[in-house]
Amino acid sequence: MLVLALESSCDETAAALVEGPVVRGEVVRSQTDLHMAYGGVVPEIASRAHLEAADSLVVETLKRAGVGLGDVDALAVTQGPGLVGSLLVALNFAKGLSMSLGLPLTGVNHVQAHALAPFLRRAGDPERRVPEYPLVALVASGGHTSLFLVRSPLDFVVLGRTVDDAAGEAFDKSAKLMGLGYPGGAAVERLARDGDKKAFKFPRPLAREGFDFSFSGLKTSVQTAYQKGNMDDEPEGSRRLADLAASFQAAVVDVLVAKLARAAKVHGVRSAVLAGGVAANGELRRRLVEALAPADVFAGLSEPRWCQDNAAMIGYLGGFQLEARHNILDLSAEARHRWPVGE
């Protein structure tokens, strides 16, 4: 089944054509440069940019896959969670395609789709090792940090979630405090390479308790350390700033790795998936593989391109939904700003 998928929940407009886990063609257009000056996503600017990009992205995706609209079997779209004005762009575009082409359309949960990204591969790539069900999955992005027990693509049980900031939000806010701009995850990672992660003693919030997360206290600790650190005194300040980035990153990594590894152990699964934008972090990926190896648990990591927002993951989960006739949308379907997985 050839599924055309669309995504516009935040600040990436994306389209993809997938057949099961095989990505036949895709395009992701990031709006980062439009929002950078504001230090965060501006909803009005985001929806406008989605609207301007949507049609050309679909045309380009079909071209890359070497197929026409007539070859598409079904449609999938991100229905939530996200910014409503942004979600509505892809949702309405998909409704229009569904009506004009007479194709079924399914509404996909963005967070749930992130968790399945490690199964994706490009057309022509050799088959890669993929996680096995049941598995545990941690989705850590700018808007979400949630831990799941996943029995099948359509059977997710929530084990825990953040009680305040998301992990990516902690990276972004700390980066902003350190003057590294927005979005800050990748910038913190780059700076941390030159730093000593033991230089600052930061808390590991809730590391040993349950499966919920909390990152807002850590951000406050970073702020205090930054203010006391005289980071503008050169050359010492630059070294201390790198130490601060490394110490902060180590605290987040410790918590995420500890919880995911413990969830795998408690639930007796052989695979643990790490997904979402934060999963692009090299230090986090290395540490997870190291932590899972002794227990012989497979670390399901997607290619970095599919950690960030994309439509391939939406099409992949959408394919299962379409087969199961799950959440098939008609013209009255609404965008869902909040949409806890499983509801």
DSSP β-bridge partners for residue 148: 137, 158
The helix (run of H) or strand (run of E) holding residue 105 is strand 105-109
Among 81, 107, 168, 318, binds ligand KG4 (CB under 6 A): 168
Among 309, 314, 318, 321, which residue sits at the site for ligand KG4 (rule: CB under 6 A)? 309
The encoded tokens of residue 301 equal 């990591």
Q: Which region, left, alpha or beta, applies to residue 238 given φ > 0 means left and ψ of -120 to 50 means alpha?
A: alpha
Quote helix, strand, coil % in the chain, to nearest 5. 45, 20, 35
Q: Does 141 bind ligand KG4 (CB under 6 A)?
A: yes
Cα distance between residue 252 and residue 235, in whole Å: 27
Q: Which of 141, 221, 281, 321 binds Zn ion (CB under 5 A)?
A: 141
CB of 69 to ligand KG4, least distance (A): 28
Site size toward Zn ion (CB under 5 A) is: 2
Choice between 50 and 197, CB closer to Zn ion? 50
Footprint of Zn ion on 283-342 (CB under 5 A): 309
Q: Report which of 93, 97, 27, 22 is spatially closest to residue 64, judged by C-alpha positions.
A: 27
Best CA proximity match to 305, nearest among 86, 163, 142, 121: 121
In the complex, minimum distance from the CB of residue 276 to ligand KG4, in angstroms, rounded to a whole number: 5
Q: Which is nearer to Zn ion, 110 or 121 (CB)?
A: 110
- State the minimum distance, in angstroms, from the CB of residue 332 to Zn ion: 26
Q: Are 136 and 184 spatial neighbours (Cβ–Cβ below 8 Å)?
A: no
The answer to whether the beta carbons of residues 257 and 289 sit under 8 Å apart is no
Which listed option, ligand KG4, Zn ion, none, makes contact with residue 195 (CB within 5 to 8 Å by class)? Answer: none
Shortest approach of ligand KG4 to residue 29 CB, angstroms? 13
Q: Is residue 189 near ligand KG4 by the rule CB under 6 A?
A: yes
Sign, CA dihedral 81-87-90-92, equals positive
Based on CB atoms, which residue is closest to ligand KG4, 98 or 226? 226
* Binding partner of 308, given ligand KG4, Zn ion, none, CB within 5-8 angstroms per partner class: ligand KG4
302 interacts with ligand KG4 by CB under 6 A: no
Binding of ligand KG4 by 315 (CB under 6 A): no
Q: Which of ligand KG4, Zn ion, none does 186 bind, CB closer than 5 to 8 A by kind?
A: ligand KG4
Amino acid, single-letter form, for residue 269: V
Q: Is 171 in the site for ligand KG4 (CB under 6 A)?
A: yes
Residue 118 makes contact with ligand KG4 by CB under 6 A: no
Neighbours of 99 (CB within 10 A): 12
Q: What is the rounded distance in angstroms from the CA atom of residue 256 to the CA atom of residue 288?
A: 9
Does the protein bind ligand KG4 through residue 272 (CB under 6 A)? no
**Residue in 21, 80, 131, 142 binding ligand KG4, rule: CB under 6 A:** 142
